[in-house]
Chain A
Amino acid sequence: MPGIDMSLDNMFCSRCGDGFEPHEKIVNSNGELWHTQCFVCAQCFRPFPEGIFYEFEGRKYCEHDFHVLFAPCCGKCGEFVIGRVIKAMNANWHPRCFRCQMCDKELADLGFIRNQGRALCHECNAKAKAVDLGKYVCHKCHGLIDDKPLRFRGEVYHPYHFNCTACGVELNSDAREVRSRPGFAANEMNELYCLRCHDKMGIPICGACRRPIEERVVTALGKHWHVEHFVCAKCEKPFLGHRHYEKKGLAYCETHYHQLFGNLCFVCNQVIAGDVFTAMNKAWCVHHFACSVCDQKMNQKTKFYEFDLKPVCKKCYEKFPSELKRRLRKAHEQTPKKMPL
């Protein structure tokens, strides 16, 4: 590149065609000669930074102008795309920048499908279409599932991709997923059984959600329940091991049982299973209907007195101080209601 002062007469600048002065610096690039002031970008007429230039159709450009004029911009990151350009969706892209807009997979070598202005991979396109149709996409074949899907290990499938672990029959959507080692956390241990084989295995089915119970089983009201599905018929809160009260095939929490049916024994505060004694705004079980003073048991025939709405047997009432008996008698005469006195 440095200047040469020999036979200047037949040397001419490749750009302007003039000769060179003696002692003038001459630029030599691949056998072509230039005045230093002529060895510049064809677009901006400035020297090439660090001597780097790009050639296109016989002209030389600085890096900047070459990109501006000829290199495409990436539709995602906005940088120039040098090297492989992906032309798609009416734009240019770095291969690493052209990705599925749902799963972010690179699409350059996989191909893509245009879906409502988005570039999607085949799988995501199928899913998006399924969602629009209110359907699922099979995790195995990526096809739409027209009938009921089979859920297995957290994904959905066409049931016909699987066979019953026990009898080998091709499955339908009634198939049951069974945790083959209860308590073992790994999802991969689950297996599929047809409904017939599943029922033969004796796995309890929840009376509320009709699904198998693989963890703790609550047995009540002649059925099995998931712990979290055995709930009060009124407030629908799960009992979670707390006491429940049964009435006409339904279970209730204490509060609502009491609210609805009201016969908790006044003494033991338990639901009265057998005969109920009701009197004075209260109820008693057979074991606990007794004189509130001496705790002696009473029955329907026992004569008793009322004291603060509690039963008092005749023997005990007679032991009351006379001044109290006088007050009680007076109060009783004043009350309009009938009392068992």
Chain B
Amino acid sequence: MNQAPVSCIPASKMSKAKKVIDEAKEIQNPELDLADKSISSFDEMPGLFNMLNITRLTLSHNKIQVVPPGLANLVNLEILNFFNNQIEELPTSLSSMPKLRILNVGMNRLDCLPRGFGAFPVLEVLDLTYNNLNETTLPGNFFMMETLRALYLGDNDFEFLPPEVGQLKNLQILVLRENDLIELPKEVGDLNRLRELHIQGNRLTILPPEIGNLDLVSSKSVLKMENNPWVTPIADQLSLGVPHVMDYIRTETYRFLYNRHIAAKGPVPPKMNDKTRKLSRARQQS
């Protein structure tokens, strides 16, 4: 990864992608920058699957709809970036890529993930921001990705987070911004390496007291929790600052309030986010 990425040379739109690929081949560049090249199909990148030396492939801001399973041939790939395409489905084969550490499929049109998706051997950062995913469309082994240190699920449709999230022992960053979360599982409190938790813009009223186990107020930690219909005592503490919330949910008083709240099963707050205009909802005319 010491070589500079290939810069884009202005050329006719038709051959943009091909030109970058040919040039990378010539100088043996292991990092391929194909962002914003109007690519709508892998057919426009002939020979790509034979470039076994490449370690990074960036395809952000294109119009790719289909990811062919053969992409998994690129066994040295460490970083794969599909941000802002039109992908509705991913091939299972991606999960077998032996060196893939960072996968960015943010801002696509994913309604679900393939079976067995959680089999990545060394995946560290998974970005699924701004898709149409929820707890019912995750594969069974999703939380088996023990090597994961950052999971980005902001701008999706989760109402509940499966308790298996507690298995992600190495997770340092968990983003659930602007979903439809009604509650957080107490297992989030098991993620003892977590130093960034984004839960702003959901339908949360209370926090499991186990969240108090986490260190989310040190100088290297972040807890974002605004824009939720919090119960009054939490809202009051939040107006003073996140450290006050963390102190409060560690008290016996709060534990009592929490248990009573759970037992009472109050009404579920309505959905707060209007998603009809989300780009991820757009569909090809068929």
Quick one: given A309-B222, A324-B155, A331-B200, are A295 and B1 in contact (CB under 8 Å)? no
Which residue of B35, B152, B278 contacts A308 across the interface (Cβ within 8 Å)?
A: B152
Which residue of B35, B102, B127, B226 contacts A294 across the interface (Cβ within 8 Å)?
A: B35
Contacting residues, chain A, for B84 (C-beta < 8 A) = 293, 319
Chain A: interface residue total (CB-CB under 8 A) = 24
B-binding segment of A9-17, A138-146, A261-269? A261-269
Shortest beta-carbon distance from B234 to chain A in Å: 17
Contact bitstring B100-135, A, C-beta under 8 A = 1, else 0: 011010110000000000000000100101100000
Shortest beta-carbon distance from A195 to chain B in Å: 45
Which residue of A293, A296, A324 contacts B33 across the interface (Cβ within 8 Å)?
A: A296
A294 & B58 in contact (Cβ 8 Å cutoff): yes
Quick one: given A294-B36, A323-B277, are A268 and B198 in contact (CB under 8 Å)? no
Which residue of A295, A319, A327, A335 contacts B226 across the interface (Cβ within 8 Å)?
A: A335
A281 contacts the other chain (CB 8 A)? yes
A269 & B149 in contact (Cβ 8 Å cutoff): yes
Quick one: given A309-B222, A327-B178, are A295 and B155 in contact (CB under 8 Å)? no
**Bound: A320/B107 CA distance, A:** 9
A281 & B222 in contact (Cβ 8 Å cutoff): yes
Contacting residues, chain A, for B220 (C-beta < 8 A) = 262, 281
B200 & A316 in contact (Cβ 8 Å cutoff): no
How many A-B residue pairs have C-beta atoms within 8 angstroms? Tell me. 78
A274 contacts the other chain (CB 8 A)? no
Contacting residues, chain A, for B58 (C-beta < 8 A) = 294-295
Contacting residues, chain A, for B35 (C-beta < 8 A) = 294-296
**Bound: A123/B1 CA distance, A:** 69
Shortest beta-carbon distance from B98 to chain A in Å: 17
B138 contacts the other chain (CB 8 A)? no
Shortest beta-carbon distance from A10 to chain B in Å: 114
Contacting residues, chain A, for B278 (C-beta < 8 A) = 321, 323-324
Contacting residues, chain A, for B226 (C-beta < 8 A) = 331, 334-335
Quick one: given A296-B33, A321-B279, are A316 and B61 in contact (CB under 8 Å)? yes
A247 contacts the other chain (CB 8 A)? no
A319 & B61 in contact (Cβ 8 Å cutoff): yes
Contact bitstring A244-267, B, C-beta under 8 A = 1, else 0: 000000000000000000100001
**Bound: A295/B61 CA distance, A:** 12
Contacting residues, chain A, for B106 (C-beta < 8 A) = 293
Which residue of A268, A294, A319 contacts B1 across the interface (Cβ within 8 Å)?
A: A268
A105 contacts the other chain (CB 8 A)? no
Quick one: given A268-B1, A308-B129, A316-B61, are A295 and B79 in contact (CB under 8 Å)? yes
Shortest beta-carbon distance from A48 to chain B in Å: 88
Closest-by-CB residue of A relative to B177 is A308
A295 & B175 in contact (Cβ 8 Å cutoff): no
Contact bitstring B25-68, A, C-beta under 8 A = 1, else 0: 00000000101100000000000000000001010110000000
**Bound: A319/B221 CA distance, A:** 29
A237 contacts the other chain (CB 8 A)? no
Quick one: given A287-B1, A293-B83, A319-B61, are A269 and B124 in contact (CB under 8 Å)? yes
B61 & A324 in contact (Cβ 8 Å cutoff): no
A295 & B177 in contact (Cβ 8 Å cutoff): no
**Bound: A296/B58 CA distance, A:** 9
Shortest beta-carbon distance from A222 to chain B in Å: 25
B286 contacts the other chain (CB 8 A)? no
Contacting residues, chain B, for A295 (C-beta < 8 A) = 5, 33, 35, 56, 58, 60, 79, 81
**Bound: A267/B35 CA distance, A:** 18
Shortest beta-carbon distance from B62 to chain A in Å: 11
Contacting residues, chain A, for B130 (C-beta < 8 A) = 324
Contacting residues, chain B, for A292 (C-beta < 8 A) = 104, 127
Shortest beta-carbon distance from A62 to chain B in Å: 84
Show 8 residue pairs from A and B whose CB-CB distance is below 8 angstroms, ordered by the A residue: A269-B124, A281-B196, A281-B221, A294-B60, A295-B33, A319-B36, A324-B130, A335-B226
| CB-based closest 9 A-B pairs | A294-B35, A321-B279, A295-B58, A323-B277, A293-B83, A294-B60, A308-B175, A281-B222, A293-B60
Having A295-B79, A324-B155, A324-B278, one finds 8 other A-B pairs with CB under 8 Å, namely A281-B222, A294-B83, A308-B177, A309-B196, A309-B198, A319-B84, A334-B226, A334-B227
